[in-house]
Structures are given as C-alpha cells and as structure tokens.
C-alpha cells in the first residue's frame, strides 16, 4: 500500500486526486493539505502529489525532498531553467524519485508523441490550446512542451524554418514563438483543457487534437506516476516513459 499526500488538496485538481486515491485499492490517502495547513501532516506519506501555484511549487518540492518524500508534480510553468533547478533539488537525496509532467492525460501524451512523428513530414505546424479562464499561465505547459518536441523533430529531420510572410504583427496575433513554432492560447468558459496541432503541406492539411472534458481524465496518469515514482530515482519529465 502506497501512502499518498496531496499538496494543493482543495484546488480543483487536488480534489480530483484525493478522490482518485481514495478509490484506488492499492493507495491510501495519508494527508490532504492546502494553503495555511501544516505541511508536517505530509510526512506520513510515501509520495506527495503537488498541484500548487507556480510561485510556491519549488519551495514545496524542496520541502518534500528534505523530508525524504517522493514527489509527483503537476504544477504548470516548468521551463528548462526550472527543470534544471528541480534536478538540483531532487539530487540532494539520491534515493528519491520525482515525476514532473506537463500533462497527465494519457490521450494528451499520445497526441504529443504523434505530433513529434508528424512534424518531420509537413512544412508547417502550429499549436492552439484552450483552457478555462481561471488558468494563471499562458501558453500552457503542454503547449510549450508540444512546440519544443515539434521543433526538435523538425531539426532532426533537417527542415528549415516554416513558411510565413508576416512582416508586421503589432497585436501579437501570430501567438507566442516557441523554438520557431507558433502557439496560440484561448482562455474561455466551457473548457477544461484542449489542444490542437495543425500541420500543413502541399495540397493537404493534417490536425491532431485532444480534449479533456473533465479533470477525471488526468487521474489515470497521476495514479500511474504515483505507483511508478517509488521505483525510480532522480527526475522523470512527463509520463511517456511510464506508459512504455
């Protein structure tokens, strides 16, 4: 039985994690902690699932590592600089594992894998992501990660820059530029998390999309990470390797 603590337990994702852990036969909810609660309640856990805000997640990660707790982190905002800092924190205890994932949706992860394969075969690729209006960051971590793997796949295939004759864009309508891949963010009521990757080539268009209609869609990936992180050491980024 793996004992699980949830940090950020009263947030929407945190509540869903608590319910999923409670429903799992091989997991035990050891502590549910949120802002202003005593973090020491988490010390009875084997794994802490962290869904807190980007401005406090690093101190929460360090707190858990200092107390010998494995971690599964779903907080947004982990760019390469922050991931490198996380590696340094986790390396302080070589017996610990940590999974930091831009997305725990299994369908979303497969979508990113398919996008990486498709990126080598099309002249153009752009990412459009849509989330609920309460999301504090844009573009999403998933969209940034998707853009980076598309760019890496294109570079590996020896592809040049994408065709784009835009010379002026004072309002930023072409979106963010992530390693040469344009990313567009929508924040709208009615969405949980959706992403579409659009590819284009001579005479054809190809799109890959994924929609999370409920936060329950992320729970199989979160629970998979909880079960696997206790067997791992160091930092694992994403759940791709866990699925394999």
Do 124 and 209 belong together in one domain?
Answer: yes
Radius of gyration of the chain (CA): 19
What is the average pLDDT score of the chain?
Answer: 95
Determine the pLDDT at residue 80. Answer: 86
Do 115 and 191 belong together in one domain?
Answer: yes
Q: pTM of this prediction?
A: 0.83
Do 124 and 179 belong together in one domain?
Answer: yes
CATH label of the domain that carries residue 228:
3.40.50.720
Do 96 and 120 belong together in one domain?
Answer: no
**pLDDT tens-place string over residues 17-49:** 999 999 999 999 999 999 989 999 999 999 999
Structural domain harbouring 21 = 2-100+216-243
Residues 111 and 127: beta-carbon distance below 8 Å = no
The pair of three-digit structure tokens given for residue 153, joined into one six-digit string: 């796949």
Do 132 and 121 belong together in one domain?
Answer: yes
Determine the pLDDT at residue 141. Answer: 87
131 given a catalytic annotation: yes
> What is the spatial distance between Cα 238 and Cα 59, in angstroms, rounded to a whole number?
20
CATH label of the domain that carries residue 176:
3.30.360.10
For the chain, what percent of residues have pLDDT higher than 70?
Answer: 100
Do 136 and 185 belong together in one domain?
Answer: yes
Number of domains observed in the structure of the chain? 2
Q: Is the pLDDT of residue 244 over 80?
A: no
> What is the spatial distance between Cα 231 and Cα 33, in angstroms, rounded to a whole number?
24
Given pLDDT bands bounded at 50, 70 and 90, which one contains residue 110?
A: very high
Q: Which of 81, 120, 121, 135 is catalytic?
A: 135
Do 204 and 233 belong together in one domain?
Answer: no
Do 94 and 61 belong together in one domain?
Answer: yes
60 given a catalytic annotation: no
Do 118 and 138 belong together in one domain?
Answer: yes
Do 157 and 182 belong together in one domain?
Answer: yes
Report CA-CA distances (Å) from 99 to 166, 205, 208, 230, 231.
Answer: 39, 35, 26, 10, 11
Q: Is the pLDDT of residue 143 over 90?
A: yes
Q: Which of 131, 145, 182, 184 is catalytic?
A: 131
């Amino acid at each position: 039985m793996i004992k699980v603590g949830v940090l950020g337990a009263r947030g929407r994702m945190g509540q869903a994690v608590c319910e999923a852990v409670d429903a799992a036969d091989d997991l035990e909810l050891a502590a549910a902690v949120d802002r202003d609660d005593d973090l020491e309640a988490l010390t009875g856990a084997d794994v802490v699932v962290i869904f807190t805000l980007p401005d406090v997640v690093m101190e929460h990660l360090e707190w858990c590592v200092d107390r010998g707790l494995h971690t599964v982190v779903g907080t947004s905002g982990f760019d390469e600089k922050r991931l490198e800092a996380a590696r340094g924190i986790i390396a302080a205890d070589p017996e610990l594992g940590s999974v930091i994932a831009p997305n725990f949706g299994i369908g979303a992860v497969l979508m990113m894998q398919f996008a990486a394969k498709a990126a080598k075969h099309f002249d153009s690729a752009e990412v459009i992501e849509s989330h609920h209006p309460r999301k504090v960051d844009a573009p999403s971590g998933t969209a940034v990660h998707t853009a980076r793997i598309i760019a890496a796949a294109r570079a590996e295939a020896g592809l040049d820059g994408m065709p784009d004759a835009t010379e002026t864009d004072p309002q930023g309508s072409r979106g963010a530029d992530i390693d040469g891949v344009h990313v567009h963010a929508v924040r709208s009521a009615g969405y949980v998390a959706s992403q579409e990757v659009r590819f284009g080539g001579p005479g054809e268009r190809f799109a890959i999309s994924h929609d999370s209609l409920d936060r329950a869609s992320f729970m199989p990936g979160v629970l998979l990470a909880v079960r696997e992180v206790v067997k791992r050491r160091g930092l694992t980024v994403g759940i791709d390797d866990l699925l394999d």
